Chains A and B, each alone.
Chain A
Amino acid sequence: MWAIETRNLRKVYRPLFGGNPITAVDNLNLQVPAGTVFGFLGPNGAGKTTTIQILIGNVYPTAGEAFVLGHRAGALAAKRKLGFLPEKFQFHDFLTAEEFLRMHGRLAKMDRTTLQRRIDEVLELVGLAERRTSKIREFSKGMQQRVGLAQAILHDPDLVILDEPTSALDPLGRRRVREVVQYLKERGKTVFLNSHLLSEVERSCDQVAIINKGRVIVQGTLDELLVNRSVVRVELRRVEPCVLEAAAKVAQKVHPVDERCFTAEVASEDDIPELARAILDAGGALIGLQAHRETLEDLFIQTVEAEGR
């Protein structure tokens, strides 16, 4: 079962007083398996926030369909099982953390006993148990984000959508969010994570999708997307064209960096000795060779650049 599924989802904004229509989401097809931590990535303006707003029912699609936990996006049945932490938010800061969560619990139609228990649990989980009676206006931006996270998971939803959950957090706060994501994963919940902090996504997510210009470019598990590629940084006394040619015969891609350095993308780590031999055979004065497994950041940059921003 898909926790989230979109079929040819499209959203076009038409300016009220003329001007060109803006296509924010363009035939987006996305499948998020239930019980996974899913990273939703893309450059600014790729259509991530619009997609999320459609999923939570705030924005109506121009065409296509979106389903959340088997229900049409925006339906009350879908909203009951959904938790959401918005990127841009302003909480009613005259309330205390506990009052704020109680309000959200009542909006989520939680019964009194369960609500009190869950308030205690989630405040503990996000590290704000000691500050439960403090007004939100007294909180730092990071603490407000954590109380936002607490409201998103308060009613024990099956799907939690986190839109830039770590944007205002320090490293300790980010670790706390990772722990919460792990906590949700262990309980079989689906987490849909939109973040620009790719290292965080790489640490937490089972699957990712990279979108650009409103369309999914790549989607898969991290193992599928990253395992078979290694990027080798090669340092020479001088990078000659014949060396690059020789390297290109072994590597899938070769990118000159400067006069003394280039990078080569090989299909697997097994190809690295052969690459070194090819460089030496072509007369290259090899100084250093450093291989690293392709990171999500490498994949993201290459994918988005290949698409042309």
Chain B
Amino acid sequence: MGVIIALTLKEAMRRRAFLGTLIILVTLYGLSFLPRAFKEAFGGDERQFELGVNIAVLFGIDAIKFFSAVLAILLSAGAITAEIERGYLAAILPRPLYRWELYLGKWLGVMLFSAANATLWTAMLWASVALQGEPRVEMWRALPYVLLYPILYGTLALALSSFLGASIASMFTVALGAFAYFSDHFLRPIAAFFDVRLLQQMIWLSEWALPMATLKRLVQIQVDTILPPGFGERPRFGRPDVLEFLNPPVQPLDLAYVALYILVALTVGLVIFWRRDVQ
């Protein structure tokens, strides 16, 4: 399996996908110096500067979540069916290795690569705020949960790639992610404020289908200390159940569900790849 992991890592380096995201992130981190730039240009008190740095950190964490997930999708979606169609696996599959070794080798390769990139980007974020004299540790606290984003999306894309081509597998994964995002960020407030029961059930279902909102909450509780005032607070008026629906608390089993979800997606993809003809 080590050979497959190494090959996947080499393949990822060759694609230079991470270079593209690195460039984008360097640009984004440039923005994290804005609080310092604004302070030096226009003055302002220390509290405003700290708030600016906190917002930059939160924004940076969101960017890491997004780009590491995109990177994992890009690398996973073409890992099985696309490689079969291109003929990359034609000489590898007859070798004395089980298909699960190949599948897990690819999964581990993608995950290691995505995790290494996310860690590197987190280090860049930490360095950029530390250089401004405002060191923060929240990004490191959030990192284990941020890493769940590429793991979740990469596993899903790999499972889909076991029977779909690269473009369709990535399209489905992105569509599922977009639906989960839309459901959590746009439908949830509508369902809460207008108390639409059917919509609330749909949102609940979408969270089971892709636990992105759960992941968001798991990350959020790690950065609670640097949230801007008023951010994430519940409205003062409203029925308790509606308010809880609007801003659900982290449950003890949330992390277990995310882990189970990843495991099930991994197993389903593996079984499909195990059972399919490769021609």
Chains A and B belong together in one complex = yes
Question: A-side interface residues toward B, CB under 8 Å?
Answer: 49-50, 53, 56-60, 76, 79-80, 82, 84-86, 88-92, 94-95, 103-104, 106-109, 148, 151-152
Asked if residues A53 and B87 are in contact (CB atoms below 8 Å), the reply is: no
Contacts of B251 in A (CB 8 A): none
Say yes or no: B277 contacts A60, CB within 8 Å.
yes
The stretch of B21-29, B95-103, B124-132 in contact with A is B95-103
* CB-defined contacts of A58 to chain B, threshold 8 Å: 93-94, 277-279
Whether B14 sits at the interface, judged by CB under 8 Å, is yes
Contact A88:B278 (CB < 8 A) given known A58-B93, A107-B92, A109-B96: no
Choose from B87, B88, B94 the contact partner of A57 (Cβ within 8 Å).
Answer: B94
Asked if B41 is at the interface (CB within 8 A of a chain A CB), the reply is no
Task: Please report the C-alpha to C-alpha distance between residue A148 and residue B88 in the assembled complex, in whole angstroms.
Answer: 12
Say whether A106 contacts B3, CB under 8 Å.
Answer: yes
Residues of A within 8 A of B275 (CB): 60
B279 adjacent to A79 (CB under 8 Å): no
Q: Quick one: which of A59, A104, A151 contacts B278, CB cutoff 8 A?
A: A59
Query: Can you spell out 27 A-B residue pairs with CB atoms less than 8 angstroms apart?
Result: A49-B279, A50-B279, A53-B277, A56-B93, A56-B94, A57-B93, A59-B278, A59-B279, A60-B277, A79-B95, A80-B96, A84-B91, A85-B91, A86-B87, A86-B90, A89-B87, A89-B91, A90-B86, A90-B87, A90-B90, A91-B88, A91-B91, A92-B7, A94-B11, A106-B2, A107-B3, A107-B92
Instruction: Name B97's closest neighbour in chain A (CB-CB).
Output: A107
1/0 per residue B182-225: CB within 8 Å of A?
00000000000000000000000000000000000000000000
**Complex: chain B residue closest to A95, CB-CB:** B10
User: Which residues of A are found within 8 Å of B277, using beta-carbon distances?
Assistant: 53, 58-60
Query: Given A59-B277, A91-B88, 19 other A-B contacts at CB below 8 A?
Result: A56-B94, A57-B94, A60-B275, A76-B96, A76-B98, A79-B94, A80-B96, A82-B94, A86-B90, A88-B87, A91-B91, A92-B7, A92-B11, A104-B91, A106-B2, A106-B3, A107-B97, A109-B96, A151-B91
Contact partners of B93 in chain A: CB under 8 A: 56-58
Chain B minimum-CB-distance residue to A107: B95
Q: Chain B, interface size: which category?
A: 20 to 34
A53 to B210: give the CA distance in the assembly, Å. 37
Nearest A residue to B3, CB-CB: A106
Closest B residue by C-beta to A58: B278
A59 vs B277: C-alpha distance in the bound complex, in angstroms?
4
Docked-complex contact B88 and A92, CB < 8 angstroms: yes
Contacts of B92 in A (CB 8 A): 107
CB neighbours (8 Å) of A103 from chain B are 3, 7
A58 to B91, CA, bound (A): 11
Contacts of A82 in B (CB 8 A): 94
Taking a contact as CB atoms closer than 8 A, the residue among B3, B10, B90 that contacts A94 in the complex is B10
Contact B10 A148 (CB under 8 A): no
Report the bound CA distance from A76 to B88 in whole Å. Answer: 20
B255-279 residues with Cβ-Cβ distance < 8 A to A are 275, 277-279
Residues of B within 8 A of A151 (CB): 91
User: What distance in Å separates the Cβ of A99 from its nearest Cβ neighbour in chain B?
Assistant: 9
* B218 shortest CB reach to chain A, Å: 37
- When distances are taken between beta carbons in the complex, the residues of chain A under 8 Å from B88 are 90-92
